[in-house]
Structure 1
Amino acid sequence: MTQPIGVEMPKPVLAIEDLTVSFDGFKAVDSLNLYVDRNEVRVVIGPNGAGKTTVLDLICGKTRATSGSIRFNNLELTKMREHDIVRAGVGRKFQTPSIYENLTVFENLEMSFPRGRKVLGALAFRRTPDVVERVEAVARDIFLHDLLHQQADLLSHGQKQWLEIGMLLMQEPELVMLDEPVAGMSVSEREKTAELLGRISQGRSVLVIEHDMEFVKSIAHRVTVLHQGKVLAEGSMDAVQTDPKVIEVYLGH
């Protein structure tokens, strides 16, 4: 696409360039370039061992890069600590739901309100109207408004996944990263999750790792295929699905 003269194209929210991480000489991620825009749902697919989860670990600071750059809104994340990356606006959900099962849905969401997450903030935390308003708004987004006062351990597996996504949304991140968000969900829960991701991508970026190709079709604006730590292919789901290289190393199996 030709850029109009004098018109500056929007910069990507996330710009990963020449990113490499080696474990005892094995390159789990190898000279990776990846760019994610605002309002985009980007899905990363690929065979087991392709480096998908490692990329999320690198972005959130859990794993340190051997070389390369990860820029988020012009911040260099490779130089930052995990909690500072969260405060900068990067939220991540792991494969297994990590919620407080002995607390209610409301209390789980309330605990994730930014003011309550720091030690001094937690000591002085009060359930003020802005907290209640934010909890109720997020609970509506994640289909749990009618279950606000239910203890979290009584939720279905899919509802627990939504609750953890809600805990991320309470922090108002600009980049949301989800690792296999529909694993173990029913068909109806997957459909509602697709609707949820479409909604939460408005005004932010969503980066998803997923194996369920039907779900990927329903949510992805662009798909990146990783293989042996490198980008094998990138584009629309239709383009990726018909790429002979992708069929050979991933979809053909």
Structure 2
Amino acid sequence: MTTSPNTASNTDFLLAIEDLTVSFDGFKAVNELNLYVDREEIRVIIGPNGAGKTTVLDLICGKTRATSGSIRFHNRELTRLAEHEIVWAGVGRKFQNPTIYENLTVAENLVVSYPKGRSVFGSLGFRQDIAVRTRVEEVAEAVFLRDRLDDMAGILSHGQKQWLEIGMLLIQEPELIMLDEPVAGMSVRERQQTGELLARICQGRSMLIIEHDMDFVRSIAHKVTVMHQGKILVEGSMDKVHDDPRVKEVYLGH
């Protein structure tokens, strides 16, 4: 992509955030932020606690309302949409802690998220035809849970619960997936598998990820954005970010 970010609203960037600001009692958690994400890009946002990383995801998904600025997805303004409308537009969000239905099976968790049903009762009540079952099995295979479909979600390991929630996003076929610290609490092997998973599911969609594990970031990121005090400090490859003295001062050095 060689298009200048200054004209991003009129280009084919999947996500274009411009002059985005949100204030809480006068404190600007995000301050005139400009961020542009390409199609099929894995963008990782890093930075110290309080930098505004999670707030950016909250703003994109509609959980928090912007004070000013623009968030355009496929050139459609998101700041005026309700949370469920943003989901329907093709944006999926996974929070830091897994939010799954522990008293349902793995398969039922995936069915709940199937686009035909927009609630637990609606999803479990509609007829689960061959297309639904096939899609559930495909997603379970993709997230390493094909052999756990009939198990209760509550007995899964922490890492498997993280994978299940990613599967619950995947079954909705979003074009943008946002993940908040997806490998937190995982074993080394689970982190490796998650890296493989994200690289695979990025085909045909983009990902916006918040992460603190620098080895994991290096293994998956197409581009890294460093935030500090609600603004972008620097962007680029992991090598560029790692070698930047400003990043070392405010983040990596600590």
Query: Structure 2 length normalisation: TM-score?
Result: 0.94
1:150/1:12 CA distance change after superposition, 3 Å? same
Q: Which digits, 9 at most, give the CA deviation of each residue in 1:137-195, with x for residues without a partner?
A: 00010000011111111110000000000000010000000000000000000000000
Q: Supply the AA of the counterpart residue of 2:47.
A: G
CA distance in 2, matches of 1:121, 1:10: 38
* Segment of structure 1 superposing worse, 122-131 or 145-154: 122-131
1:194/1:123 CA distance change after superposition, 3 Å? closer
Q: Does 1:75 align with 2:67?
A: no
Q: Supply the AA of the counterpart residue of 1:33.
A: N
1:129/1:55 CA distance change after superposition, 3 Å? same
Deviation at 1:117, TM superposition (A): 1.3
Q: Supply the AA of the counterpart residue of 1:20.
A: T
CA distance in 2, matches of 1:2, 1:226: 23
CA distance in 2, matches of 1:121, 1:46: 40
Q: Which digits, 9 at most, give the CA deviation of each residue in 1:63-99, with x for residues without a partner?
A: 0000000000111000100000001000000000001
Deviation at 1:122, TM superposition (A): 3.9
State how 1:1-253 maps to structure 2 within 5 Å. Answer: 11-117=12-118, 122=123, 125-253=126-254
CA distance in 1, matches of 2:217, 2:129: 39
Maintained 8 Å contact 2:112/2:119: no
Divergent runs of 4+, >3 A: 118-124
Unpaired runs of at least 5, structure 1: 4-8
Q: Give identity over the alignment, percent.
A: 73
Give secondary structure in 1 for the equivalent of 2:79: helix
Unpaired runs of at least 5, structure 2: 4-9
Deviation at 1:107, TM superposition (A): 0.7
1:177/1:80 CA distance change after superposition, 3 Å? same
CA distance in 2, matches of 1:119, 1:171: 14
Q: Supply the AA of the counterpart residue of 1:242.
A: D
CA distance in 2, matches of 1:169, 1:191: 19
1:31/1:162 CA distance change after superposition, 3 Å? same
CA distance in 2, matches of 1:97, 1:31: 31
CA distance in 1, matches of 2:11, 2:208: 18
CA distance in 1, matches of 2:138, 2:124: 24
Maintained 8 Å contact 2:108/2:124: no
1:118/1:99 CA distance change after superposition, 3 Å? closer
CA distance in 1, matches of 2:217, 2:203: 18
Give secondary structure in 1 for the equivalent of 2:57: helix
Q: Supply the AA of the counterpart residue of 1:176.
A: I
1:179/1:247 CA distance change after superposition, 3 Å? same
- The residue number in structure 1 matching 2:7 is none
1:147/1:172 CA distance change after superposition, 3 Å? same
CA distance in 1, matches of 2:167, 2:245: 38
Give secondary structure in 2 for the equivalent of 1:53: helix
CA distance in 1, matches of 2:124, 2:94: 26
What is the count of residue pairs matched by the alignment?
Answer: 248
Deviation at 1:118, TM superposition (A): 5.3
